[in-house]
Chains A and B, each alone.
Chain A
């Protein structure tokens, strides 16, 4: 019996297996990048409807970053915005018949969580330097270093599990209902799944912002404290 959690290999590149989630991700990337190139090739100072919609997305992401991280959105926009857009598109890719959302597979969610983990380190180091970032683990006192370190790992793991659990469970439920009740019955569940997908994309992006903002603020605070101390 094939596991519902399994991800079949579509083809091999040499000995490297390319699975369905990767192919779907490539499709999503092609769609997003192609759409982005197409839309941004005709940007005007006086916007049309399409451009206004794109600018609304960018403005909304910027505002969300400002409100959540309390910083200017420039350095974080591309990462946070891409995370949200990709997860959103991946979750909603289940609308295409025969396509299973890449986020319903553990590897994709783990990759996303790993990138957030690395981004927290990257932005934290960039804000306060390596020393400042490492010193942030000793906040509020050195006794907290193990706990803060474990928290960094567990919150990354929680990101992975939250996204995977929600999307995978939705796919499972829709598949089970479809196998039991017939053609039209899963539609309400699919609609709910779309809502869940959008919410999960938003939650993932907001949590990534919160983690990065925490690291950045803490590193910055440590740097300032180090500079202020005699």
Chain B
């Protein structure tokens, strides 16, 4: 067994060349690619870390802003609450004022209605009273009543001033028919009080209920139940 030094040298040279070639075309490119990937991954991680930091910062700012928003919201709510309270108070005051006005208007209306009703009731009561009196008075028509009314009439005529007594034609209105004798007596007595010789005509008017009324051109003496009741009714109405 011998050692071929030429072959040994060639093989050593071959392996050296192979080391150089593989270093150039295999080991370095692949290791470089691994390193590039590691660097890219590291850059991605750094980038992710930076983005994470930025996100945390943004979150902190957002939280701060949100806290500020909360305070602002509370302040706005407080302002709105105060404004609402003011508005509510104003509305309540206005409503109270309106209610008071309505109450007064209603009270006035009620008072007016009450007064009108009282007036109407008084008027109705007056009429009813007058009707009752008229019915009662109608039962008192008779000689005595007529004599009394004649006395009242003569007294009224006497109370007239002298200038008012000088009427030439007069009308005597009675509630019922008067007999001819009674008419003559009445005309005589009236003429005696008036003085002179006035012409007296007679007329019947049941609405008088009872009594004698003397009417002339410038003279009118209302002397009957009707006239008295009308006066009473007018006084009742005016009293209200």
A residues in contact (CB < 8 Å) with B: 3, 5, 7, 16-19, 21-22, 25-26, 29, 32-33, 36-37, 39-40, 43, 45, 47, 51, 54-55, 57-59, 62, 74, 77-79, 81-83, 85-86, 102, 105-108, 110-112, 114-115
CA distance A33 to B14 in the complex (A): 12
The 10 closest A-B pairs by CB, nearest first: A78-B23, A36-B26, A111-B11, A111-B12, A107-B7, A40-B29, A107-B8, A82-B19, A36-B25, A58-B30
B179 at the interface (CB under 8 A from A): no
Q: Chain A residue with minimal CB distance to B41?
A: A45
B residues in contact (CB < 8 Å) with A: 1, 3-4, 6-12, 14-23, 25-31, 33-34, 36-37, 40
Q: Chain B residue with minimal CB distance to A57?
A: B30
CA distance A218 to B42 in the complex (A): 35
B3 touches A106 (CB 8 A): yes
B11 touches A7 (CB 8 A): no
Given known contacts A25-B14, A111-B15, A115-B15, is B31 in contact with A77 (CB within 8 Å)? yes
A115 touches B12 (CB 8 A): yes
Residues of B near A17 (CB, < 8 A) are 4, 6-7
Residues of A near B40 (CB, < 8 A) are 45
Given known contacts A22-B11, A40-B25, A107-B7, is B16 in contact with A115 (CB within 8 Å)? yes
B8 touches A110 (CB 8 A): yes
Given known contacts A5-B1, A45-B37, is B11 in contact with A58 (CB within 8 Å)? no
CA distance A150 to B34 in the complex (A): 41
Given known contacts A82-B15, A86-B18, A111-B15, is B31 in contact with A18 (CB within 8 Å)? no
Residues of A near B21 (CB, < 8 A) are 29, 33, 36
B32: min CB distance to chain A, Å? 8
A55 touches B4 (CB 8 A): no
Known: A33-B26, A36-B26, A54-B26. 4 other contacts (CB 8 A): A3-B1, A36-B22, A107-B8, A107-B11
Q: Chain B residue with minimal CB distance to A43?
A: B33
B22 touches A78 (CB 8 A): yes
Given known contacts A19-B4, A54-B30, is B18 in contact with A102 (CB within 8 Å)? no
Given known contacts A18-B10, A43-B29, A55-B33, is B15 in contact with A32 (CB within 8 Å)? no
B30 touches A43 (CB 8 A): yes
A29 touches B18 (CB 8 A): yes
Residue from A26, A51, A86, A111 in contact with B8 in the complex, judged by beta carbons closer than 8 Å = A111
B234: min CB distance to chain A, Å? 124
Q: Chain B residue with minimal CB distance to A35?
A: B26
Q: Chain B residue with minimal CB distance to A61?
A: B27
B34 touches A79 (CB 8 A): no
Residues of A near B1 (CB, < 8 A) are 3, 5, 106
B16 touches A110 (CB 8 A): no
A19 touches B22 (CB 8 A): no
A33 touches B31 (CB 8 A): no
Residues of A near B11 (CB, < 8 A) are 21-22, 25, 102, 107-108, 110-112
Residues of B near A55 (CB, < 8 A) are 30, 33-34
A-B contact pairs, 23 of them (CB 8 A): A16-B6, A17-B4, A17-B6, A22-B14, A29-B17, A32-B22, A33-B22, A33-B25, A33-B26, A40-B30, A43-B30, A45-B33, A47-B33, A51-B30, A55-B30, A81-B27, A82-B15, A82-B19, A82-B23, A86-B15, A107-B4, A108-B11, A111-B8
A15: min CB distance to chain B, Å? 10
B21: min CB distance to chain A, Å? 5
B34 touches A32 (CB 8 A): no
B26: min CB distance to chain A, Å? 3
Residue from B12, B22, B29 in contact with A114 in the complex, judged by beta carbons closer than 8 Å = B12
Residues of B near A110 (CB, < 8 A) are 3, 8, 11
CA distance A110 to B6 in the complex (A): 12
Q: Chain A residue with minimal CB distance to B26?
A: A36
Residues of A near B15 (CB, < 8 A) are 25, 82-83, 86, 111-112, 115
Q: Chain A residue with minimal CB distance to B23?
A: A78
